[in-house]
Amino acid sequence: MNTSNDKGFTGSIPQIYERYLVPMLFEPFAQDLASRAASADPSRVLEVAAGTGVVTRAMADALPEHVEIVATDLNQAMLDCAAKLRMHRPVTWQQADAQQLPFDDASFDLIVCQFGVMFFPDKPRALAEAKRVLRPGGTLLFNVWDRIEDNEFADTVAAALGKLYAADPPRFLQRVPYGYCDADAIARDLAEGGFEARPLIDTLAKRSRAGSAQEPAVAFCQGTPMRAEIEARSGGNLDEATAACAAALAARFGDSAIDGKLQAHVVAVQR
């Protein structure tokens, strides 16, 4: 299995991601994470896997003006998209690999990551890096998706693609974004990364809304690295895959404004 494209948010993906995925999936949880960040009363915050900055913007609104925010992502194209969006306060945007952070030891008192840990090839190593750059008593705060079955739009898209490419279905959604939902596995990786405290894990259910069935179909098929999996299939056609997913979503939710369940785990652990 070739997983080299699992982290590839390049080309037109950042713009599609920001237009469709951010309001549909990420904004509801961004506000929650920013509120938790504010409750930690930090003075210097590092965000990893910031994407196009949905949590960055929420934290810029929720945190006092004196709090420094450094937002990083592996993909410069995502940060370029984020930096073009209007923000009322300065933020430092910096390309960085979460598994090898370019920061000094004990230099942040809060690290935030929204729906990014699942993409780290070596999770204990990335978590160890987070611990290294956290000050004693600092907090790592992140969220991950729960099972794909508890995230209805994604589950419907995955099932539709499974039927369309029955001989070799794309498995990106199940493997990566919705593949890191076991609380015991998360706790083990944190312990292996050097965190001695037991993490606090909350499970939150929210609603995902879209203007039509076409929107989540475009979002998942064209605005994530699953795009490369579809195009790599024998006979793979991006428009055909998007249409099949839109039809499945319309059959389940209707073809006007649609609404589906979202569910995620929010993890907090202290250094």
Contact (CB, 8 A) for 271 and 243:
no
Residue 8 lies in a domain: no
Owner of token pair 């064209």? 222
Mean pLDDT of 244-266: 96
Residue 6 lies in a domain: no
Tokens found for residue 271: 């250094």
Tokens found for residue 249: 């979503």
**pLDDT band for position 6 (cuts 50, 70, 90):** very low
The Cα–Cα gap between 261 and 169 comes to 24
The pLDDT value recorded for residue 271 is: 96
Contact (CB, 8 A) for 180 and 118:
yes
**pLDDT (tens digit per residue) in 143-172:** 999 999 999 999 999 999 999 999 999 999
The pLDDT value recorded for residue 1 is: 46
**pLDDT band for position 10 (cuts 50, 70, 90):** low
The Cα–Cα gap between 186 and 159 comes to 26
The pLDDT value recorded for residue 4 is: 45
Q: Rg for the chain (alpha carbons), in Å?
A: 18
Residue 7 lies in a domain: no
Residue 246 lies in a domain: yes
Q: Is the pLDDT of residue 12 over 70?
A: no
**pLDDT (tens digit per residue) in 56-89:** 999 999 999 999 999 999 999 999 999 998 888 8
CATH code at position 186: 3.40.50.150
Residue 229 lies in a domain: yes
262: domain range?
13-270
Q: Which among 58, 228, 221, 18 has a CA at the least distance from the CA of 143?
A: 58
Model confidence, pTM: 0.92
| Strand ranges across the sheet with 44-47 | 92-95, 68-73, 44-47, 108-114, 134-145, 258-270, 200-210
Residue 233 lies in a domain: yes
The Cα–Cα gap between 51 and 214 comes to 23
For the chain, the domain total comes to: 1
The Cα–Cα gap between 11 and 29 comes to 26
Residue 1 lies in a domain: no
Residue 199 lies in a domain: yes
